[in-house]
A and B are shown apart, each in its own frame.
Chain A
């Protein structure tokens, strides 16, 4: 009997070494085997937590881990190289990203333009047949430059160019310029994509600048005095640069006009109107002629009207004809409300 007891005791001891694989939980734990995650919604036992915290937490963790391991063992397993392997399902927990999801690559200026206009890229043949060389020549890439060199072994100097110019060097320069331009455009595209404020390029010189750039340069230069160009003379038909960013370039100039001015608006307006109206009138030859003609015509008419009128009317009040009754002196009654018409009726 001792032997049996001994065996049982030994078995019991062994069982004690291994904790049970079944776990009782008040609320069921949420399991996500895909990410090997278990979430325990049960509350902590307050008394246990206070009295022996470490032991309690270790036991709790073990139990929960046991649950996870149980769930893994329920998955289909296979044996690979003497170890048992289970394939985890797709994770169900959504994990937040650290950074935002990268969007589509911003289009370059040309790509944007091409998209708007509906231009699609045409694929070029890798090799084209060159008739002068009677050979198939690569269109781009490996050995293309070599082929071109072989083709353009001689270059014509145009008639309007100095005969001593090196046309080969000119060709190389032209190409270098193109490469540089492309590089600048590439940089600009990067700047545009990253939305960085780029300092505006300054005055480009008379050859390269556009008219609006020149105008801006003039305006800025004129306002670069101690008094912000207030006393600079103006050319008769000079224009001032307007538009985006011009005012920012002018040192000391205010971006927005102040609402409050020293002179009241009405008076300022009246002054402005006065200056507009008091402009020296231009000598308008046509108008002068027309006025002269009119005066002549009036004079002629007056003359024509005078001659027959001389018979009866010695006073001769021009061409005016009496309308209605002839007023009689000293007999008429004055209408106090009625105004006498002054002068000729004008139309």
Chain B
């Protein structure tokens, strides 16, 4: 486990702020203890300092996962969030998209959301805004990126993609081995 370099920390916070905006601060500035981001084998983990101290007993090779895996840095230094990050993204999300019950399954199989599957959407979301996807009874299903701004959505025809799929809770089964 090592600290993120400044460059990578910046990439991480920029990415986080795409989904939860100014709430990024609350991930670091928590009343219930010190939490920090750590990097292990190119993966970013969000760990409480208490757990981190315990994990220091283990060697690099023995350690598989500590805390919550937020995502993975690619070889070109781009960060890709894993579905495990949803637990922290969902409560702070500023822009949300709700999918119709009929489209829930489709989304959980990894499909983009077309206009016909869109139940509700937060106002004023711009294009390429990171959003958290909810089911109609407010269960977070995953996250994605808006393909169209909210206003464009209203005029779009039913088959156009409104939100690009990035990650969904179906990945817990589909990508079980690469997730953590």
Contacts and interface: CB of A to CB of B under 8 A. Distances in A.
Contacts of A286: 126-127, 149, 152
Nearest to B11: A276
Contacts, number: 60
A242 B77 contact: yes
Interface string A286-301: 1101110110000000
Interface in B1-42: 2-3, 5-7, 9-10, 13-14, 17, 21-22, 24-25, 28-29, 34, 36-37
Nearest to A259: B3
Contacts of B21: 277
Contact of A257 (B5, B10, B24): B5
Interface residues of A, number: 22
B2 A290 contact: no
Interface stretch (A31-39, A71-79, A266-274): A266-274
Contacts of B137: none
Interface in A249-293: 257, 259, 265-266, 269-270, 272-273, 275-277, 284, 286-287, 289-291, 293
B126 A290 contact: yes
B178 interface: no
A240 interface: yes
Interface string B123-145: 11011000000000000000000
Interface string B114-128: 000000100110110
Given A265-B36, A269-B9, 15 more contacts: A257-B3, A266-B28, A269-B13, A269-B28, A270-B25, A270-B28, A272-B6, A272-B10, A272-B13, A273-B17, A276-B24, A277-B24, A287-B149, A290-B124, A291-B124
Contacts of A275: 10
Contact of A265 (B3, B5, B126): B3
B123 A294 contact: yes
Contacts of A284: 126
26 contacts: A242-B77, A257-B5, A266-B34, A266-B36, A269-B9, A269-B28, A270-B28, A272-B13, A273-B17, A273-B24, A273-B25, A273-B28, A275-B10, A276-B13, A276-B14, A276-B24, A277-B24, A284-B126, A286-B127, A287-B149, A290-B126, A290-B152, A291-B124, A294-B124, A294-B151, A347-B120
Among B13, B22, B77, B150, chain A packs the most CB atoms within 10 A around the CB of B13
Interface of A: 240, 242, 257, 259, 265-266, 269-270, 272-273, 275-277, 284, 286-287, 289-291, 293-294, 347
Contacts of A290: 124, 126, 149-152
B60 to A, nearest CB: 12
B13 A273 contact: yes
Categorize the interface residue count of chain B: 20 to 34
A277 B124 CA distance: 19
A294 B125 CA distance: 12
Contacts of A240: 7
Contacts of A289: 151
A150 B3 CA distance: 69
B85 to A, nearest CB: 16
Contacts of A270: 25, 28-29
Interface in B146-180: 149-152
Contacts of A269: 9, 13, 28, 36-37
A286 B36 CA distance: 36
**Best-buried of A240, A257, A259, A276 by chain B (most CB within 10 Å):** A276
Contact of A276 (B3, B7, B17, B124): B17
Nearest to A293: B151
Contacts of B24: 273, 276-277
Nearest to B6: A272
A277 B22 contact: yes
Residue of A257, A273, A289, A347 with highest tally of chain B CB at under 10 A: A273
Instruction: Rank and list the top 5 A-B pairs by shortest CB-CB distance, nearest first.
Output: A290-B151, A287-B126, A276-B13, A269-B28, A273-B24
Contacts of B150: 290
A257 B9 CA distance: 14
Nearest to A243: B75
Contacts of A265: 3, 36
A175 B14 CA distance: 54
Contacts of A272: 6, 9-10, 13
